């Protein structure tokens, strides 16, 4: 138990569906992240929020839309996804988001296994 929860744990959706992934952290952290992990590929950073403000968007397609209403909650809204978007989506949080020096330890949730049919 890392203090970061994600729901749902598994999701199957069609390409025309709209769904949302939810992440909640109980650690009092200020930074939250979305990562994508496809089969046999390294984790890819998608978005970073620091104090509810988006600070990083790693050229993610617009069919992925993040939302961070407060420092404890992070959503990833999904619409018109493609089969190649099937992956494990991981949420993480850290105390803060440091631009230089040592990176803050990131605490990851268990992930949502997404299958797009």
Contact set with another protein (CB under 8 A)? 2, 4, 31, 42-45, 48, 55-56, 88, 90-92, 94, 97-111, 113
Nearer to another protein, 16 or 40 (CB): 40
Nearer to another protein, 15 or 103 (CB): 103
Kindly give the residue spans of alpha helices, DSSP state H, lying in the chain: none
> Within its chain, how far is the Cα of 74 from the centroid?
7
Q: How far is the CB of 43 from another protein (least distance, A)?
A: 4
- Give the Cα separation of 50 and 70 in Å (integer): 10
Fill in the DSSP letter of residue 103: P
> Within its chain, how far is the Cα of 18 from the centroid?
16
Q: How far is the CB of 92 from another protein (least distance, A)?
A: 7
DSSP 3-state assignment of 95?
coil
Q: How far is the CB of 94 from another protein (least distance, A)?
A: 8
């Amino acid at each position: 138990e890392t203090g970061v929860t994600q729901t749902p744990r598994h999701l199957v959706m069609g390409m025309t569906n709209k769904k949302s992934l939810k992440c909640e952290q109980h650690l009092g952290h200020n930074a939250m992240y979305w990562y994508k992990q496809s089969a046999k590929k390294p984790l890819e950073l998608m978005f970073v929020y620091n104090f509810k403000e988006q600070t990083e968007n790693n050229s993610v397609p617009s069919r992925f839309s993040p939302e961070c209403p407060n420092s404890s909650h992070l959503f990833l809204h999904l619409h018109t996804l493609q089969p190649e978007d099937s992956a494990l989506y991981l949420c993480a949080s850290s105390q803060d988001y440091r631009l230089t020096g040592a990176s803050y330890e990131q605490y990851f949730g268990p992930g949502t296994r997404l299958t797009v049919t």
